[in-house]
Chain A
Amino acid sequence: MKPLSPEKTVAVLGNGETARRLSEELLKRGFPVMLVMPNEKNTNEVPEGAEYVAGEELVSVKGQVSDFTLVLGVVGKREERRSDFIVVAYESVREPVYDILGEPHHERIWPLSYLEQLNDDAFGEKYGKIIFLDRLDGVNSVAASARFLNAIVTAQEDHEIACCLITCQVKVASPGLEMLYGRMRDGGCLVARTDLLELEVDAKEVRTRFDDIVLDDVLRVSGDLLVVGERERPAPELKKLAGVLGLETDQEGFLQGDNLLRVPCLTNRRGVLVAGGSVAGLSEWEREQNIPSVVEEVQALSRWLDEVIPVEQIIYDRDRCATCLTCFRVCPHGAILFTDKPHFLHLACQRCGICTSLCPNEAIELSGFEKPSFFERLFPEKIAGEQDKSPGLTGFVCERSVDLVRQYLEENDPVLNAVRWIEVPCAGTLRSQYILETLAKREGADGVVVVSCHKDNCRSGDGTIRAASIVRQVKGLLKTLGMDEGSVEHIPLAPNERERLHREVKRFQTKAKKKSLTERK
């Protein structure tokens, strides 16, 4: 294993302000920065001290946190660089919402960012009345509203322009916005809410006609200029970067997936972070939190790397391996490299065990959860009131919720105490065979419950989906065999659902008891 370098390098991939500011903040705290930016960017923007790699795209990335190898290149030229961490810090792109107008280009129709960048003191003399048009499709964001409120207040107060804002809604859920909204209305801005608009533009003016939802009346407003809002979309580069880096994306294509546990700057890969407009279309307040939280995570991970003793997380049996690539394909954390055989990157592994559960040849096992010892993880070792443990239940519970079980056992709770519990690192570690074996052979397993996290609330993303699919498989098998498919159940649970765990287990127990009574009759 390569000795860990004391100075850890951060590769910042970006195209603008976030990448530049983040690089500065990292440099200030002693991290060498390699800034990978597209060609067209002005090199003046590169902070002093950063290594600047211009105009290159990321072709592939190998390795893991503390030792990433980035292959950068344009046609005909490739070069390899290494870094300890990678931060994707592309800005989102702004797309004017012309499509709702049906009148895309006209000198009297401006995108909001054009107005924001305008530096013209005589602006107010040219335009006396401006209509601001925010999105009408109901999908509005705090970030967009904040930009409108700021632009309107500036137009009103600095240029004495009469303003009208046509919108589906004004979002004020961010510090200072409600007050800014009040200031805008006090300044005489007409705020109209509608979802449909008729528009005419000619050389002289812009005329609108719409049904105001709140006033329930048809309004006509004309102005000298129409300023339209913009959608915050992921930068086009993100799609490729997500592929190269193996990152989850959300529905729009931003890089954090729809997973709560990635807050504020994490991704599914350790040491790969996201910043600014690569996270989402962030509001100003969110941006202010974002850069220092990326710095914080880099510093914390650095320290972790200094102290961590790399241990084998995955035990690999070459003789059994069919080199089918399944493990490589399913790993949610980019922790498996494949050459002629899989290589397990132990610093990247987050111990979800999904690869082990899906390996068709059982060639890999999660350390500490090898097959023979798997069932020895039963607790409590002795079940209280052994005689009335029929019907016996076995529960598989993931590490994140195991505390709740432990608390109940400590309290000697009769319901939870009557279940044999097996702690698994993640419900995704389970194989259907474990459940079947538990049902078939193990003493006192009339039923099995699998406790996992909720969907989009699993550190490994897919653990919950895997658990649900395993339970479905087992149910199918039981059905085929003419057995009761109700004897296995999946309980998605959050770690704060202590009371619900009790209710669900009790319900399952009552059901199993009823069944075993009927069978006895």
Chain B
Amino acid sequence: MAKSRGKVLIVGGGIAGLTMALELGRRGVPSLVIEKEKTIGGHAGTYACKAVDGHCQKCGACLVQDAIRDIREMPQIEVSVETTLAGLDREGKEIVARFKKGEKEGPDRFSALVLCHGFQPFDPAEKPNYEYNRIPNLITGVELEQMMKQKGNVFRPSDGKPVKDMAFVQCVGSRNPALGRPYCSQVCCGYALRMARQIRTQNPSTSITFFYMDVQTFGRDFERMFWEFRDAVYWIREIPGDFFSTAGDRVGVTVEDEGEIGELTFDLMTLSVGMGPSPDQPVFEKWLDLRQGPERFLVSPKRGGIFVAGSATGPMSIPDTIANSRATVTHVMDYLEERS
């Protein structure tokens, strides 16, 4: 194994980890990025471009591809996919990591460790009333992203037919203290509205309904986009409680209107799922004695050569993840400077 003095270990090859590796690389600091999946890019790497009529909607999904390309051109960055950590130890100022799978069997020594293990999209099966596993045309926002990326349009999963009417249910697994998620996931309104706009532009006759509490617009240009698009959507200020499948595999929900219970059905329904801590988080907490913030994501300790960046520290959009990761690079560099 190559001598790795001064090398930084980055856990996770999503946009946070890739940005971290690239920026360290720009400063001449070598790094090893380990990724448990087969490819780098993380969640955001599977998301669709949401441009409408050749006009960027600022979702940031393309930036992941830019990062993957730039990584290949930087010789001081080593990437190891299908690799996970088997253990971490400290020896003086060095971090000794043991790896599982892949060619990396370790142990190897590093000067600093940056956890960029990202988030876990909320699994709607956690809340039985969504009937997520039983209703064929009920999908998550992540699945819609992937459908838009692969096929460029929406189709019903049950029969592959075009979608005449569809609905988005917002705040699924967000803003819900009862679920242990007392936070806004910050991205769901953004991705749902951007995709809705794209779908409407491509299929002007498709009707789109939003079930929502509040529209959490944020980020560059989003406000304007929202006002331009607002009137093209039916807005229902309610999060439905009961979900069912009707004849012809339409997705039904019960809604309350002025005290009366009614039913609405759609060809396709998207649950705009929020972000939760990664399932890998507990083991890092245990190994490294890390602290959770009030929203249950990790707090970056910024000491002892251990750092946390990106959505491992809380829900954030792709551009915000890049900003956070780049800000963390400054702390990592300060540490490396002090250490030497």
Cβ of A455 < 8 Å from any Cβ of B?
Answer: yes
Question: Across the interface, do A456 and B56 meet the contact criterion of CB distance under 8 Å?
Answer: yes
Cβ of B83 < 8 Å from any Cβ of A?
Answer: no
Question: Among the listed stretches B87-95, B182-190, B243-251, B281-289, which one makes contact with chain A, having 4 or more residues with CB under 8 Å of it?
Answer: B182-190
B293 cross-chain contacts in A, Cβ below 8 A: 175
B314 cross-chain contacts in A, Cβ below 8 A: 175
Question: Across the interface, do B319 and A264 meet the contact criterion of CB distance under 8 Å?
Answer: yes
B63 cross-chain contacts in A, Cβ below 8 A: 260-261, 263
Question: Across the interface, do A178 and B182 meet the contact criterion of CB distance under 8 Å?
Answer: yes
Interface residues of A in 214-252 (CB under 8 A from B): 214, 250-251
Question: Across the interface, do B333 and A173 meet the contact criterion of CB distance under 8 Å?
Answer: no
Interface residues of B in 176-208 (CB under 8 A from A): 177, 182-184, 186, 189
Which of B58, B227, B323 makes the CB contact (< 8 A) with A264? B323
A347 CA to B45 CA in the complex, in Å?
32
Cβ of A496 < 8 Å from any Cβ of B?
Answer: yes
Question: Across the interface, do A293 and B330 meet the contact criterion of CB distance under 8 Å?
Answer: yes
Which of B23, B66, B183, B218 makes the CB contact (< 8 A) with A300? B23
Question: Among the listed stretches B46-54, B100-108, B124-132, B264-272, which one makes contact with chain A, having 4 or more residues with CB under 8 Å of it?
Answer: B46-54
A300 cross-chain contacts in B, Cβ below 8 A: 23, 26-27
Cβ of A76 < 8 Å from any Cβ of B?
Answer: no
Which of A264, A288, A455 makes the CB contact (< 8 A) with B56? A455
Which of B26, B183, B218, B224 makes the CB contact (< 8 A) with A178? B183
Annotate A487-516 by CB proximity to B: 1 below 8 A, 0 otherwise: 000101011110110010000000000000
Cβ of B55 < 8 Å from any Cβ of A?
Answer: yes
Cβ of A289 < 8 Å from any Cβ of B?
Answer: yes
Cβ of A341 < 8 Å from any Cβ of B?
Answer: no
Which of A286, A490, A494 makes the CB contact (< 8 A) with B49? A494
Question: Across the interface, do B319 and A303 meet the contact criterion of CB distance under 8 Å?
Answer: no
Question: Across the interface, do A495 and B27 meet the contact criterion of CB distance under 8 Å?
Answer: no
A129 cross-chain contacts in B, Cβ below 8 A: none
* CB closest residue in chain B, given A257: B220
Which of B66, B295, B326, B327 makes the CB contact (< 8 A) with A179? B295
Question: Across the interface, do B150 and A280 meet the contact criterion of CB distance under 8 Å?
Answer: no
Question: Across the interface, do A457 and B62 meet the contact criterion of CB distance under 8 Å?
Answer: yes
A138 CA to B216 CA in the complex, in Å?
11
Cβ of A159 < 8 Å from any Cβ of B?
Answer: no
Once A468-B54, A495-B66 are accepted as A-B contacts, the answer to whether A292 and B330 lie under 8 Å apart by CB is yes
Question: Across the interface, do B56 and A296 meet the contact criterion of CB distance under 8 Å?
Answer: no
Interface size on A, residues (CB 8 A): 60
Cβ of A258 < 8 Å from any Cβ of B?
Answer: yes
B27 cross-chain contacts in A, Cβ below 8 A: 299-300, 303
Question: Across the interface, do A299 and B333 meet the contact criterion of CB distance under 8 Å?
Answer: yes
Question: Across the interface, do A495 and B58 meet the contact criterion of CB distance under 8 Å?
Answer: no
Question: Across the interface, do A456 and B214 meet the contact criterion of CB distance under 8 Å?
Answer: no
Which of A261, A263, A490, A496 makes the CB contact (< 8 A) with B61? A496
A297 CA to B66 CA in the complex, in Å?
18
Cβ of B64 < 8 Å from any Cβ of A?
Answer: yes
Question: Across the interface, do A172 and B327 meet the contact criterion of CB distance under 8 Å?
Answer: no
A83 CA to B177 CA in the complex, in Å?
51
**Minimal beta-carbon separation of B160 from chain A (angstroms):** 16
Once A264-B322, A286-B323 are accepted as A-B contacts, the answer to whether A173 and B330 lie under 8 Å apart by CB is no
* CB closest residue in chain A, given B214: A169
Question: Across the interface, do B26 and A492 meet the contact criterion of CB distance under 8 Å?
Answer: no
* CB closest residue in chain A, given B189: A173
* CB closest residue in chain B, given A303: B27
Question: Across the interface, do A492 and B330 meet the contact criterion of CB distance under 8 Å?
Answer: no
**Minimal beta-carbon separation of B254 from chain A (angstroms):** 20
Cβ of B60 < 8 Å from any Cβ of A?
Answer: yes
**Minimal beta-carbon separation of A254 from chain B (angstroms):** 10
Interface residues of B in 3-49 (CB under 8 A from A): 23, 26-28, 45, 47-49
Interface residues of A in 168-216 (CB under 8 A from B): 169-179, 182, 214
Residue from A142, A172, A304 whose CB has the most chain B CB atoms within 10 Å: A172
Cβ of A346 < 8 Å from any Cβ of B?
Answer: no
Cβ of B74 < 8 Å from any Cβ of A?
Answer: no
Cβ of A278 < 8 Å from any Cβ of B?
Answer: no
Cβ of B175 < 8 Å from any Cβ of A?
Answer: yes
Kindly list 8 other residue pairs between chains A and B, CB separation below 8 angstroms, not including A299-B333, A453-B56, A496-B64. A139-B223, A179-B294, A263-B319, A264-B323, A289-B324, A293-B330, A300-B27, A454-B49
Interface residues of B (CB under 8 A from A): 23, 26-28, 45, 47-49, 51, 54-56, 58, 60-66, 69, 149-152, 175, 177, 182-184, 186, 189, 214-218, 220-221, 223-224, 227, 237, 293-295, 314, 319-320, 322-324, 326-331, 333-334
Provide 26 A-B residue pairs closer than 8 Å at the C-beta atoms, listed in order of the A residue: A142-B216, A169-B214, A172-B175, A175-B293, A177-B184, A258-B221, A260-B62, A261-B63, A263-B319, A292-B328, A292-B331, A296-B326, A296-B330, A297-B326, A300-B27, A303-B26, A304-B26, A400-B66, A454-B55, A457-B56, A464-B54, A494-B56, A495-B65, A496-B49, A497-B149, A503-B152
